[in-house]
Structures are given as C-alpha cells and as structure tokens.
Amino acid sequence: MQNLKRMWALLGVIAAIASIAASSAGASHKAGPNIVIWTDSDRAAAVTKVANAWAASNGATIQVLTKNFGDIRDNLGTVAAADAPDVITAAHDWTGQLAANGLVQPIYPSKAIRAQFPGYTLNAFSYGTAVKKLYGMPVAVENIGLVVNTKIAKVPTTFKQLETEALAQKKKAHIGFGIAVQQGSGGDAYHMYPFFSSLGGYIFGTNKAGNLDPSDIGVANSTFVKNAPLVDKWNKEGLISSKVDGAAAQNAFLKGQAAFWITGPWNSDTLKKSGLKFKVIQMPAIIKPSVPFLGVQGFMVTKFAATHGVGGAATDLVTNYLATPSAQTQLAAANGRPPANVKAHSSDPVLSQFSAASKGGVPMPNIPQMNSVWGDLGQAWVKSTKGAGATKASVAFKAAARSIADKIG
C-alpha cells in the first residue's frame, strides 16, 4: 500500500512538472498579434497577399474580411468591439466623419516616408479643426478623364474643338447628347466636376489656417454664376444631358455612337477589351482649367486596434509596410488604380494616361459637411441639363447653395 501511495505521489509530481513545463513553453511561444482588416472584394486578394508578407516576418496573423466598400465606413460606427476591425481600407473623404467620431487613430509616419507621397495625398487624409493630424496612409489615387475615340474624333486641344466635334458626332449618330458623361435622375456631382471647376465653381473655401471652411460655400459664387449661361447653352444644343446615366454613357461610347466619354480608371479593363482606339486626356479648359475631383484611397488604423491589444502592430503594418513602394506597386496592380507612393510604379499605359489627367485636381472635401453637398449639387446639374423644361443654371445652382447652407447650419 505504501509503495502504491509513493507511486501515485511520484506520478503527481511528474504531472505537475509537465504542466509547468507546458505552461512555460506556451509563454515562450505566445501567439503573435492577430490583425483583422476590412476591405472590399476588389482588393481582398491583394490586401491578403501583401499583409501576410508583413505578418510572416513579424510573427503575426492576418484575417481579411470582405465588405461592400461603402459599408466599411457605415458599419465601423455600429460594430461591436469584439467583431471590429483593426485596420480598414478607406476613401480619404471619410476622414472627417471617422476622426470626428473617434473611430480612427492618427498615425505618424517618418519624414522619409512622408517624402514619398505628394502633399495633396497626405492632406486628403488629414483632419483637425485646430491642429490637423494624419489619419490614413495613402495607397492609390483616382480621378476621371476625358476618353476620346481617336478613330472618329481628333484629340481636342480646346473646349470649342471638343464641343464642335461632339455635336457633329451627336448629329451623325442620332443620339441625344454629345459628351457621354453620367448623371441620371439622382445626379452625379463627381462626374460633372470638371465642368463645374472650369466655370469657376468650388465646394468650400479655406480659412487662414488652411483648413476647409464650411461657411464659405462656392457652389454659386459670383464667378460661376457669371459663367452659368454656358450651361444653358450646352443644355439647349444637347452637348450634355442629365437623362444619361452610367450605363447609357458607357454603351454610347463602346458602340461608337459618342466620341467622348468621361470616366475613370475603374473602366480601364473595359476600354482595353473594347477594341477601340482611344486616348485619355484632361478635358480642355473652358474658362479655367477643367480639373477633376481627386479620390485618394488608403488604410486607416481603427480605435479598436488598441482595444484588441494590437495597436502597435496595426500601426506598423499601415504606416511602415503598406506605405512602401513594393507594397503599393502590388496593390495598384490588383486594384487598377495608380499608386500614391511616387517611388511605386504602374506599367499600365491607360492608368498612366488617367494619372496625367489629374493635373491640378482637387481632393474631394473630407470634412463631415461634405455629406450635405452631394445631393443638392448633383440635382442642380440635373435640373439645368435635362433638356426641354430645364431650370436656368444660375437659378438652379443658387437654390442648391441655399439648401446646402441650410443643411450645414
């Protein structure tokens, strides 16, 4: 009996030692950080590949979850902390809303890293009423351009030439518009921005600190109103029409009916597969340069990264790794957008043409008040370019400016 007791006691000691050893081994091989990234389906494969390359050398794991792009911003404000992402793919114009709500954290890349990015891309992801802070690492840039079917039209160097050729093709093809630019009943202030900027329109001015000033609304400023009769002229002659939606604009160009199409790099593959001979340029100046809106996309670190205990790792991934030329080149290739890092490169000639068309472009305002602009500005174009029964442009845009001001308060 005594021998049996000794045996059980010995086995207990061995078990205890084994347990301690196992615990120690577990501590010394503690699992690295697990970082959850929200992105969209277009970028999921590329983001997974690039982020896993960082994870492999940092003892971390990556979990990429796919969402509709617009839902990323909306869902971040409602998701439970346990299910929340640490990093998100984001558009720069979300910055003000997300930063004001405390949902994303500022990042502080080194001077050497910042030097690899055009100033406007960093400014696009910066926000602050007193001191501006950077909240996102730019990865890709996008803008619209004027696509010219060079088989049926010459590449215009002046707006008058563009107008003349577009109307001649309109008459020849028996269609209701000269330039294929999408609007539709909901309006599209983004695609109409080159016309808007060239007539002297702007969204918000800036204050002495260089920040966007939502009290300075330029939708119906005196310069634009003075030039607004040109919109009435375009409506009367059918140069542009708000009855044209995205599908109609694309179909008219691809079928060779319209010689000019205003679109962006998201249609690069469509253009390449079309068999058409084409060139992408910035629309010629009307009164001022016809600059487009610029969209900057990138990655943000959410407030939940700190909650999950991976704040440092998530910041390193975004600020140091995803900012590199190598990572940005890979992401640009998969995303079909020019990279933001000037040392990265795109070998795609169509993307290069869209990049050239961005010269002088204006980043979409990233302050929360911009949400009060899109609808009214789009509808001003709809009302003034709908053909018969259209509202005079000066009247439509003044009404839009008043409505925007009332909403902003």
pLDDT greater at residue 335 or residue 125: 125
Q: What is the DSSP letter of 357?
A: T
Give the count of alpha carbons within 13 A of 406, CB side only: 7
For residue 174, pLDDT over 60 is answered with yes
Rounded to 5 degrees, what are φ and ψ at 126?
-105, 145
Kind of pairing between the strands at 179-180 and 260-263 = parallel
Average pLDDT over every residue of 89-118: 96
For residue 26, pLDDT over 60 is answered with no
Model's pTM, two decimal places?
A: 0.84
pLDDT tens track for 353-402 = 999 999 999 999 999 999 999 999 999 999 999 999 999 999 999 999 99
pLDDT at 345: 80
pLDDT tens track for 36-62 = 999 999 889 999 999 999 999 999 999
CB within 8 A of 14, min separation 6: which ones?
Answer: none
For residue 209, pLDDT over 90 is answered with no
pLDDT at 69: 94
Rounded to 5 degrees, what are φ and ψ at 293?
-70, 145
For residue 9, pLDDT over 80 is answered with no
Place of tokens 């971040």: 76
pLDDT at 30: 52
Average pLDDT over every residue of 290-319: 97
CB within 8 A of 378, min separation 6: which ones?
Answer: 183, 186, 187, 188, 189, 192
Average pLDDT over every residue of 182-209: 96
For residue 23, pLDDT over 80 is answered with no
Interatomic CA distance for residues 1 and 405, integer angstroms: 93
Average pLDDT over every residue of 97-106: 97
CB within 8 A of 93, min separation 6: which ones?
Answer: 124, 295, 363, 364, 365, 366, 370
